Structure 1
Amino acid sequence: MIDRRGEMRIAEARGADVDRITEIYGHFVEHSLATFDEVAPSGDDWRHKLETVQARGLPFLVARAGDDVVGFAYAAPFRPKPAYRYTVEDTIYVAPGEGGRGAGRLLLTELIRRSAEAGMCRMIAVITDVGDPASAALHRRLGFSEAGRLTAVGFKHDRWIDTVLYQRELTAG
């Protein structure tokens, strides 16, 4: 995909990307129901997350348009118990104003590929059900199927929120 800043490409996140990742995520914490965080993590928190994810051999990616980071995605352990060790949960955020340009699809496609290469067998998506179908539609287009609903499990911005679980197989396992 080509946009006004050049070809969009996916790359491993690096320390220099943390400020932009912090900014993108902070927007969603403050202005949306896409995340249940109510206080945005600091740059140091994101730096630690980046290091922890990469130390586990899992992907932490950014979408770049020219030199600008326009989105990020990472795969992290779904749950801490050992039996879940081959299952990851995806996280994807695209910067405000950048939606609909393909960054989410590119990020998720590459996240799936690299997670499978890392030996993961399943990917889970936990998506808030707040009336915006974009994230669920993206996941369905890339092979995820709905696995269940958790009703009124989050309360943010004076509203109860459901989450919908999606999953897909990454490798035979």
Structure 2
Amino acid sequence: MTVRLRRAEDADLDAILDIHNDAILNSSAIWTDEPVDRRERELWLAQREAAGYPVVVAVVDEAVVGYASYGAWRAKSGYRFTVENSVYLAAGHRGRGIGAMLLAEIIRLAQEAGMQVMVADIESRNSASIKLHERFGFEHVGTVRQVGTKFGEWLDLAILELPLQARERV
């Protein structure tokens, strides 16, 4: 299996939409209940690009099978060097190392952009995602209990962080 990573393009939005909506409908990875439409993903991609936040896709046999990005962790200017990542894969392509490739690429891009810290906010029972992030050096820094709900149950949020640069005074 050959996997190629590249920046997302408008032509990738249908595949990104399918992957995103699958995560909404079938997992607790995205804490929203309703699928989104293509227009929402168009706006999302445009906003990411305008803010300088990359969206990277993984392509296998000319099909987009995953995507990753990072964006602002919090809106206030004091957090401007801290980003939160997202990595999503199509069903049938998980557990093959594609998520690791995507995560490595967005970490590299965040470092090149001068970001200081990358945060991963992960539903606490998502052990596959937590283990993936830990393999890249993310450390668990806290769990916030019952801050979300989906599928009729309360969800805990595990917070992991990865320093991207040497920690110095600004």
Where do residues 130-141 of structure 1 align in structure 2 (5 Å cutoff)?
130=125, 132-141=126-135
Q: Return the alpha-carbon distance in structure 1 between the equivalents of residues 113 and 35 of structure 2.
A: 29
Aligned to 1:49: 44
Where do residues 84-163 of structure 1 align in structure 2 (5 Å cutoff)?
84-130=79-125, 132-163=126-157
Q: Return the alpha-carbon distance in structure 2 between the equivalents of residues 15 and 41 of structure 1.
A: 16
Corresponding residue SS for 1:172: coil
Q: Return the alpha-carbon distance in structure 2 between the equivalents of residues 44 and 126 of structure 1.
A: 25
Q: Return the alpha-carbon distance in structure 2 between the equivalents of residues 166 and 43 of structure 1.
A: 30
Question: Which has the larger displacement, 43-52 or 86-95?
Answer: 43-52
Q: Return the alpha-carbon distance in structure 2 between the equivalents of residues 42 and 170 of structure 1.
A: 34
Q: Return the alpha-carbon distance in structure 2 between the equivalents of residues 9 and 127 of structure 1.
A: 26
User: What are the ranges of 5 or more consecutive residues in structure 1 without an aligned counterpart?
Assistant: none
Contact 1:58 1:118 in 2 (8 A): no
Q: Return the alpha-carbon distance in structure 2 between the equivalents of residues 169 and 58 of structure 1.
A: 18
**What is the total number of aligned residue pairs between the two structures?**
167
Shift of 1:99: 0.5
Contact 2:124 2:143 in 1 (8 A): no
Task: Answer yes or no: is 1:64 the counterpart of 2:59.
Answer: yes
Shift of 1:40: 1.7
Which segments of structure 1 move beyond 4 Å, counting only runs of 4 or more?
none
TM-score of the aligned structures, taking structure 1 as reference length? 0.93
Q: Return the alpha-carbon distance in structure 1 between the equivalents of residues 22 and 52 of structure 2.
A: 28
Contact 2:23 2:30 in 1 (8 A): yes
User: What are the ranges of 5 or more consecutive residues in structure 2 without an aligned counterpart?
Assistant: none
Contact 1:18 1:47 in 2 (8 A): yes
Q: Return the alpha-carbon distance in structure 2 between the equivalents of residues 77 and 88 of structure 1.
A: 5
Structure 1 residue corresponding to 2:73, chosen from 56, 75, 78: 78
Question: Which has the larger displacement, 97-106 or 47-56?
Answer: 47-56
Contact 2:67 2:87 in 1 (8 A): yes
Q: Return the alpha-carbon distance in structure 2 between the equivalents of residues 37 and 13 of structure 1.
A: 23
* Aligned partner letter, 1:9: R
Q: CA RMSD in A?
A: 1.0
Q: How far does the alpha carbon of each residue in 1:41-97 deviate from its partner, in whole angstroms, 9 at most, with x for none?
A: 211111111111122222111011121111001000000000000000001101111
Aligned to 2:4: 9
Q: How many percent of aligned residue pairs carry the same amino acid?
A: 36
